[in-house]
Amino acid sequence: MKLYIIKIGLLIVASFSLISCKDFLEVNDNPNAPTNDNLSLSVKLSAALNSSANYEATQLNQIGGFWGGYWGTAGEAASSFSTLKNYNGPGIRDTRDGIPVWETTYTNLFYYKQILEQADLEASLFYEGIAKVMTAYHYFILVDFYNNVPFEQALQGSLYLQPVYEPGRDVYQKSMDLITEGIAEIKSASNAPGADDVLFRGDRTKWAQFGNTLKLRALLRQSQVSDQSGYITQEVAKIVQEGSGFLLDNAMVNPGYLNTAGRMNPFFETYYRNNAGVAVANYGNIRPTRYLLAKYAEYNDPRLGQNFVTVNNAYQGVVFGDNTVSPEFASANTSAMKGPVENGATPAGVLKSFNQGSMVISSAEAYFLQAEAAERGWISANSTTLYNSAIQSSFNYQFNVNNYNIATYIAQPSVNIDVAPNKIERIITQKWLALSGLNNIQAWHDHKRLGIPAFPASVTSPTPGAYPRRFMYPETELNSNNQNASSQGDVGVLTGRVWWDVR
């Protein structure tokens, strides 16, 4: 953590200078010295929210794409993404070539800490509330990947060079409390942010709904933990009492993306085309799994044609973890993602345009969360109505319309929740299809929790048929905070579990 704190000081210089849209990029303050004295809260907020959205759209989406059953690689990319495909925990935590979930998340937390401190000094309750909600959002991510993490002593500079770890359960509960506080501050604030709030443009109700949706997601993570039922009941009651409900619209960050390198929608630029319209490497390397394509086909799901192209009039997928270079899995013989170039110059399902919004939480997920909560008896709502609303929301987004006719789709016995032998399984399976390409990481967490859907593990899993359940603590932490990190039990990526993973 000590070396990491030093790195944060350097990262904050670069990241706070990458302000979200054109107006914010052209500030008069010196971007090479972004301190509390020369950067306004408005500039910091736009940058922080943009950073959070970029993280969700790229790094988290990529992990979830592979570990959530959605993605594999074309034959030419057999050596690409090897740590994810082979469940290589030591490789993932490697300082140089690993996947820096720990570092990226704490960097984002540092941004919100700076906003929180400045907002407190300036008595800007709305900004303070947003910072608390987003702090909780990122701490949930940390616990879901690592379990026990530093919380109270984290991000304190030289005050705690080796911050102590706190149980993941405690961090979850403290994060829930932060959201409660944040919503209250947002609702009572006298002044609201404007365009610098690149998520909700200062809409108090949407921020409250966003916070409540985050809470419900976190509570459902705990659905299998037997001694949490009382806590869940208590927290659901708080959500109901607050009264704003849950997200009705997609929570998307859009700072005003430009068709310029580094300023495009991050998912579009990372997985589809660059600003010159040239396909990026990931577009050729990443392919849908056979399991994903089979699920689309099983439900006669028209979203398949919105998201992938055919090869010789058929959809062709790959086997996750297969590292052989064979014609069967060559990029020319497998289905690529579909974007506007392949869709008659019109927006496709997930890939729409260089300036599309970056999804943080979709309204489809919000409805699926409520449907599961209703089916479990946590909230007094009709699970069928919520389930159908979730599917409706997904189809509307994928087909770029306001009211796609889903009647035929939901009438199928394999989709209709009213005839489902296991309604939770049906909810999670349709949620899995709806989140493909948008919030892939949720699929991995749902699978850890429930084992649904039953997508196959990597064929190169060190233990045949075994799935990864957490990340190992990074080398940066083992090198600088070893005593605290090691005392948590540095378990392997396949065998260790976060606190709510009891299946």
Residue 20 has pLDDT above 80, yes or no: no
Distance CA 404, CA 490 (A): 48
- Phi, psi at 337, each rounded to 5°: -65, 145
- Domain 2-256+358-486 indexed as CATH 1.25.40.390: yes
Residue 146: the pLDDT is: 96
Residue 96 has pLDDT above 60, yes or no: yes
Residue 30 has pLDDT above 50, yes or no: no
The distance of Cα 308 from the centroid of its chain, to the nearest Å, equals 22
Q: What percent of the chain has pLDDT over 90?
A: 89
Q: Are 370 and 362 in contact (CB under 8 A)?
A: no
Residue 55: the pLDDT is: 98
Residue range 308-364, pLDDT digits in tens = 999 999 999 999 999 788 889 999 999 999 999 999 999 999 999 999 999 999 999
Distance CA 460, CA 82 (A): 10
Q: Which of 23-37, 187-201, 251-265 has the lowest mean pLDDT?
A: 23-37
Q: Using alpha carbons only, what angle is made at residue 419 by residues 415 and 423, rounded to the nearest 5 degrees? A: 75
Indicate the residue type of 27.
V
Q: For residue 469, give the H/E element and its range.
A: none
Region 294-310 average pLDDT: 98
The closest alpha carbon to 280, from 320, 337, 323, 321, belongs to: 337
Residue 22 has pLDDT above 60, yes or no: no
Q: Are 39 and 25 in contact (CB under 8 A)?
A: no
Who's near 276: CB < 8 A, 6+ residues apart?
none
The closest alpha carbon to 350, from 403, 279, 272, 286, belongs to: 272
* H-state helical runs in 189-250: 204-221, 229-242
Going by pLDDT thresholds of 50, 70 and 90, the confidence category of residue 6 is very low
Two tokens at 194?
């404007």
Who's near 273: CB < 8 A, 6+ residues apart?
279, 280, 283, 339, 341, 354
Q: For residue 361, give the H/E element and its range.
A: strand 358-361
Distance CA 348, CA 326 (A): 29
Residues belonging to the chain: 503
Considering the entire predicted model, what is its pTM?
A: 0.93
Residue range 384-434, pLDDT digits in tens = 999 999 999 999 999 999 999 999 999 999 999 999 999 999 999 999 999
Torsion of CA 475, 67, 374, 368, to 10 degrees: 110
Q: Domain map of the chain by residue range?
A: 2-256+358-486
Q: Using alpha carbons only, what angle is made at residue 428 by residues 422 and 432, rounded to the nearest 5 degrees? A: 145
Residue 37: the pLDDT is: 57
The closest alpha carbon to 136, from 151, 153, 115, 157, belongs to: 151
Residue range 219-271, pLDDT digits in tens = 999 999 999 999 999 999 999 999 999 999 999 999 999 999 999 999 999 99
